[in-house]
Amino acid sequence: MNAMTPIPVGDRCDSPQAQWGADWPAQRLAEARGIVADFIHHPDSLIILACRAIAEHSPDPQERREALALAGLLIAVSQRKPKGGSA
């Protein structure tokens, strides 16, 4: 098989569930929760992405609200300009 060999029709995966399994959203949600729980060891950009994943996939409305609030806080803090001194 080389780069020009057609992909057999039976091996095609048109949906994420077919490619990664039916439980991939639960796995991503668990991974996102772990990132948020261990936030001190991760960059803010990754924490924001994890919060967005939680807000999208969590069945708990309180957890979704808290994730969006944390993401908003991190975005607001990252956009602040340093005070004092001349730049």
pLDDT band at 79 (very low <50, low <70, confident <90, very high): confident
Other CB atoms within 10 Å distance of the CB of residue 20: 13
Query: In this predicted structure, what is the pLDDT of residue 80?
Result: 78
Is residue 67 a contact partner of residue 51, using CB atoms and an 8 Å limit? Answer: yes
pLDDT band at 23 (very low <50, low <70, confident <90, very high): confident
- For 27-68, write each residue's pLDDT tens digit: 999 999 999 999 999 999 999 999 999 999 999 999 999 999
Where are the chain's structural domains? 22-78
Compute the distance between CA of residue 8 and CA of residue 29 in angstroms, rounded to an integer: 32
Kindly report the pTM of this predicted structure. 0.68
What is the number of residues in the chain?
A: 87
Q: Tokens standing for 44?
A: 């803010």
Query: In this predicted structure, what is the pLDDT of residue 55?
Result: 94
Of 35, 38, 32, nearest in space to 52 by CA: 32
Q: How is residue 79 annotated by DSSP?
A: T
